[in-house]
Amino acid sequence: MKIAVYPGSFDPITNGHLDIIERGSRLFDQIIITIAKNSSKKPLFTPAERKKIIERALEDIKLHSPVTVEMFDGLIVDFLKERNARAIIRGLRAVSDFEYEFQMALVNRRLNGDVSTVFLMPHEKYTYLNSSIVKEVASFGGDISYFVPKTVQDEIRKKFDSM
């Protein structure tokens, strides 16, 4: 069974992320989305909230293989080993993403030679999109309907309304 892991902070998950997940589900027998902690970012949602939001967003897309959502804190290569996974999925939006992602792929390969990183490009309409942009637009009351599914929009609005 070919199992891949798609790690990220997903704060919030965007249509670009969902596009990568849908594309990956055509290539792997199972995908595990891992919600990673990123100490350099100030999250809008807790990990538990993100898990719930992602699971609801996955209901709205066509998946070709099972996709689950888990939380993990530590080295991603250790998580892969625990789940008998061999691949890490990473999205590349632009050339600017490549240098960082290439370095991480090499580090992960050094830590576990059995792990491969698979780079997937989202549809071109999502190449500029990231979670920070979505949060910024939403914080000023802008329309984020093109960037995230309706279920995610609703959660973002609730979060900003409660602040």
Sign of torsion over alpha carbons 45, 48, 54, 55: negative
Given the residues 51, 64, 81, 93, select the one marked as catalytic: 93
41 is annotated as an active-site residue: yes
Separation of alpha carbons 65 and 38, rounded Å: 28
Given the residues 50, 86, 90, 131, select the one marked as catalytic: 131
Structure tokens at 91: 């999205």
Residue 102, CA atoms < 13 Å, CB-side half-sphere: 6
Given the residues 17, 50, 86, 90, select the one marked as catalytic: 17
17 is annotated as an active-site residue: yes
110 is annotated as an active-site residue: no
- Which position has the token pair 């892969």? 80
Given the residues 2, 26, 37, 41, select the one marked as catalytic: 41
Active site residues: 17, 41, 93, 131
